[in-house]
Chains A and B, each alone.
Chain A
Amino acid sequence: MISVHFPVLLVLVPLIAAPICLLLRPLPGATWAIATAASWFCLYVTVSLLFRVLDSGTISYLLGNWAAPWGIEYRIDLLNAFVLVIIAAIGAVVMPYARASVTREVSPRRIYLFYTMFCLNLAGLLGIAATGDAFNLFVFLEISAFSGYTLISLGRDRRALTATYRYVLMGTVGATFYVIGIGMLYMMTGTLNMMDLAARIPAVAQTRTIHAALAFLTVGVGLKLAMFPLHTWLPNAYTFAPSAVTAFLASTATKVAVYVLIRMYFTVFGGAEIFEMFPVRETLMVLALAGMFAGSFVAIFQENCKRMLAYSSVAQVGYMVLGISFATVTGLAGGMIHLFNHALMKCALFLVMGCIFYRISSVKIADMAGLGKRMPLTMAAFVVAGLSLIGVPATVGFVSKWYLVLAALEKGWWPIAALIVASSLLAVIYIWRVVEVAYFRPVPEGAPEVTEAPLSLLVPTWIMVLASVYFGIDASRTFEVAHAAATLLIGGGK
Chain B
Amino acid sequence: MQFPGLFNYWIAIVLMMAGFYMVMAHGNLIKKIVGLNVFQVSVFVFYISMSKIKGGTAPILEPGFEVYSNPLPSVLILTAIVVGVATTALALALIVRIHDAYGTIEEDEINAQESES
Which residue numbers of A lie inside 8 Å of B, CB to CB? 135, 138-139, 142, 146, 149-150, 153, 158-159, 161-162, 164-165, 168-169, 172-173, 175-176, 179-180, 183, 186-187, 190
Contact = CB atoms under 8 A, between A and B. Distances in A.
B64 to A, nearest CB: 25
Contact of A173 (B20, B46, B50, B86): B20
B91 A168 contact: yes
B39 A161 contact: no
Interface string B101-117: 11000000010001000
Contact of A158 (B76, B90, B91, B102): B102
B87 interface: yes
Interface string B72-102: 0100100110010011001100110110011
A70 B114 CA distance: 51
B46 A183 contact: yes
A139 B75 CA distance: 13
B87 A135 contact: no
B106 to A, nearest CB: 12
A139 B78 CA distance: 12
B18 interface: no
Given A146-B86, A161-B101, A186 B40 contact: no
A176 B39 contact: yes
18 contacts: A146-B87, A146-B90, A149-B90, A149-B94, A158-B98, A161-B101, A162-B102, A165-B95, A169-B23, A169-B32, A169-B36, A173-B23, A173-B36, A173-B39, A179-B80, A183-B43, A183-B46, A186-B73
A168 B102 contact: no
A149 B40 CA distance: 19
Contact of A168 (B46, B79, B87): B87
A153 B43 contact: no
B40 A161 contact: no
Contacts of B29: 165
B36 A161 contact: no
Contacts of B87: 146, 168, 172
Contacts of B90: 146, 149-150, 168
A187 B46 CA distance: 10
Given A158-B98, A165-B91, 9 more contacts: A146-B90, A150-B90, A162-B110, A165-B94, A165-B95, A168-B87, A176-B43, A179-B43, A183-B43
Chain B interface mostly: helix
B47 interface: yes
Interface of B: 20, 23, 29, 32, 36, 39-40, 43, 46-47, 50, 70, 73, 76, 79-80, 83, 86-87, 90-91, 94-95, 97-98, 101-102, 110, 114
B50 A187 contact: yes
Contacts of A180: 43, 46
A451 B77 CA distance: 55
Contacts of B94: 149, 153, 161, 164-165, 168
B27 to A, nearest CB: 13
A173 B19 CA distance: 10
Most chain A C-beta atoms within 10 Å of own C-beta, residue among B29, B40, B83, B101:
B83
A183 B110 contact: no
Contacts, number: 65
Most chain A C-beta atoms within 10 Å of own C-beta, residue among B86, B94, B98:
B94
A307 to B, nearest CB: 13
- Nearest 5 CB-CB pairings of A with B: A158-B101, A161-B98, A142-B83, A187-B50, A172-B87
Nearest to B80: A179
A168 B37 CA distance: 12
A181 to B, nearest CB: 10
Contacts of A161: 94, 97-98, 101
A353 B95 CA distance: 29
B12 to A, nearest CB: 9
A190 B73 CA distance: 10
A176 B35 CA distance: 13
A180 B13 CA distance: 11
A172 B80 CA distance: 11
B81 to A, nearest CB: 12
Nearest to B23: A169
A162 B79 contact: no
A201 B32 CA distance: 36
A187 B36 CA distance: 24
A197 to B, nearest CB: 14
Contacts of B43: 176, 179-180, 183
B74 to A, nearest CB: 12
B88 to A, nearest CB: 10
Most chain B C-beta atoms within 10 Å of own C-beta, residue among A135, A162, A173, A175:
A162
Nearest to A170: B23
Contacts of B39: 173, 176
